[in-house]
Amino acid sequence: MSALIPEITLPNGVKIFYQNKDEVDFLYEEMPLYFKNGIELHEGDTVFDVGANIGLFTLFVYQLCNNNANIYAFEPIPATFEVLQRNVQRFNPGKIKAFSCGLSQNSKTMTFAFYPNSTAWSTIYPDDSKEQRNSMKKVVLDNLKDAPSFIRWLRWLPPFVRLPKGQCAERNRLFSTTK
């Protein structure tokens, strides 16, 4: 494993390895939303984190269950899996197992669209259609209106969701909200 993986201390005091600081900040804020529809976890539960990324949800669940949960974290992208594995080793590799693969009903090899500066957007089914780009732009822009603190995260978005150069006025309006 590479020794060059950076570390960050989360707001809760936990130190983790990461790939992109802005992405960690954003995903950390999203963790409680995973439980907004009444999902509950208890000590001793077993959880499968499919598409675990660097393991923020895995670590969140582990702490939520008072360090007493059996977690199986799956991440198929090698660079991201390396960070996940480092995070798992730091906590409890006896209770948290990391697997360098995806889950499917069939055994097969697939190619991912990997976005190293925005790993959570990486996907096996990239949709680069005009409709999908417009839909993603709308979602991103709607969310950014209410959350200017992470607007700098825009620079890490995959190319298919960035604003076209013809929409610079809208882009400038968005960036001016951070001043």
Domain ranges of the chain: 1-124, 127-179
**pLDDT of the residue at 2:** 52
- For residue 21, what are its two tokens? 């600081």
Confidence (pLDDT) at 155: 53
Q: What is the predicted pLDDT for the residue at 7?
A: 95
- Digit-by-digit pLDDT tens for the chain (179 residues) are 455 899 999 999 999 999 988 889 888 988 888 888 888 999 999 999 999 999 999 999 999 999 999 999 999 999 999 999 999 999 888 899 999 999 889 998 888 888 777 777 787 877 777 887 777 777 666 666 655 455 555 555 665 555 554 444 343 333 333 33
pLDDT at site 66: 93
CATH of the domain spanning 1-124: 3.40.50
Quickly list DSSP for 70-105: EEEEE--SHHHHHHHHHHHHHS-TTTEEEESS---S
d(CA 18, CA 80): 9
CA distance 24 to 159: 20
pLDDT at site 158: 61
pTM: 0.70
